[in-house]
Amino acid sequence: MRIHIFVGTGGVGKTSVTAASALSAALQGERALVLTIDPARRLRTALGLDAINDASSADAARLQQQVSLDSISSGGTRGELHAVMLDVASSLNRAVRLHASPKQAEEILAHPIYQVLLRSLAGMQELMAVERLDQAIAEGFESVYVDTAPSRHALEFVDKPEFFAQLVSFPIVRLVGKTYRWWEKSGIGRFSRGTFELYTRVEDMLGSHLTRQVLDFFSIFRGIAEGYAHRARHTAELLRDPAITSFTVVTNPLKAVRDADFFLKELERRRFHVSSLVMNRVWPRLENMSRINDSLTTATAAGMDDATREALRGTIAWYDAVSRSHQTVWNHVHSSYSQRIPHLVQVPELPEDIAGLPALQHIAQHMKA
């Protein structure tokens, strides 16, 4: 089992590169799973993930799709590509059902605090990725490709297992989880407000209705949280094992210098293994500028007017300058990081939107070259 985690800022092509890498593994015969976050609409369609949008129901099967590879391989592939869209609400519901007894699950899912939690807890998506990774291991995938949240804070993804494990092991949290229901039933709170100072103080701050809801929720959620934390701790160990997990930084020419520095520092600080950096959307150099200039001259002879010719020259000069600046960035990245990152890869700007399997395959081919 291998885990490939892709990090990067928004809009650089992280989702596309992640999906392309998973597709490539499947075409080479692996049983691969891609966990995506918020894919662009047409890519979502291509991966068969459209139905998942309305999976507010507990229909777990629809959260995962096997992608048909028929359109790009002539049936010779023994591998499989499965795709999951990480959607906070449906994945957390699924996790609750997985860890809790059916009766407990209903209690939790219907709880107003749970609804608030779903909408507000920062990093919930990362938490879900950890949960899904764990399921993927259980389901026997050979490789898992994880698209992380599009931000510089995406590394919360890798901090979360420990964070969550620590949270539920705080003595105070355990105490509340274990004692609150008993305290409430016993009626002690009504007689002597001083006895359980913790609860009465919290009540003063939040108001008694809300406090009751929060504490009540926590007392039923505690079991789930502990089950989750136990598994998450295990996942965190896998993430640190270079024989199992590797990280890829995805960036583009505009952001490469800053991103490479930032992510490498952050990942190394956490003792994660960075295997690759993909600089996506590089404008290829125009080959044969002299021939292009020659044909402009010929075009003039053939009747192209001066204004059109100058406009064309301007456009070509502009393209050439941009592509040259991309190459300068690449050279810089290469000389700065080739010692520390084993694979440095350029993927060109493709003439098509990354909306289907053929486009993903093009990206994958460039990554291998």
Residue 361, both tokens: 């395959």
Q: Which does 347 bind (CB under 5 to 8 A by kind): Mg ion, ligand ADP, none?
A: ligand ADP
Q: Which of 15, 24, 64, 252 is the binder for Mg ion (CB under 5 A)?
A: 15
CA distance 131 to 231: 8
Q: Which of residues 37 and 274 has its CB atom nearest to ligand ADP in the complex? A: 37
Q: Is position 358 an interface residue for ligand ADP (rule: CB under 6 A)? A: no
CA distance 92 to 323: 44
Of the candidate spans 12-20, 84-92, 282-290, 337-345, the one that interacts with Mg ion by CB under 5 A turns out to be: 12-20
Strand order in the sheet with 2-7: 64-67, 80-85, 31-36, 143-147, 2-7, 245-251, 274-282, 343-348
Q: Which of residues 145 and 199 has its CB atom nearest to ligand ADP in the complex? A: 145
Binders of ligand ADP among residues 121 to 160 (CB under 6 A) are 150
What does the buried/exposed string (b/e) look like for 339-364 if buried means 16 or more CB atoms within 10 Å of the residue's CB?
Answer: eebeebbbbbeeeeebbbbebbbbbb
DSSP state of 349: P
Q: Are 8 and 259 in contact (CB under 8 A)?
A: yes
Question: At closest approach, how far in Å is the CB of 228 from ligand ADP?
Answer: 27
Q: Which of residues 15 and 251 has its CB atom nearest to Mg ion in the complex? A: 15
Alpha-helical regions (H) of 170-242: 171-186, 188-191, 197-206, 208-240
Q: Is position 10 an interface residue for ligand ADP (rule: CB under 6 A)? A: yes
Q: Which of residues 223 and 356 has its CB atom nearest to ligand ADP in the complex? A: 356
- Closest residue to Mg ion using C-beta atoms: 15
Q: Is position 189 an interface residue for ligand ADP (rule: CB under 6 A)? A: no
* Single-letter amino acid code for the residue at 228: Y
Q: Which of residues 12 and 229 has its CB atom nearest to Mg ion in the complex? A: 12
Binding residues for Mg ion, rule: CB under 5 A, are: 15
Binding residues for ligand ADP, rule: CB under 6 A, are: 10-16, 40, 150, 280-281, 347, 349-350, 353-354, 363
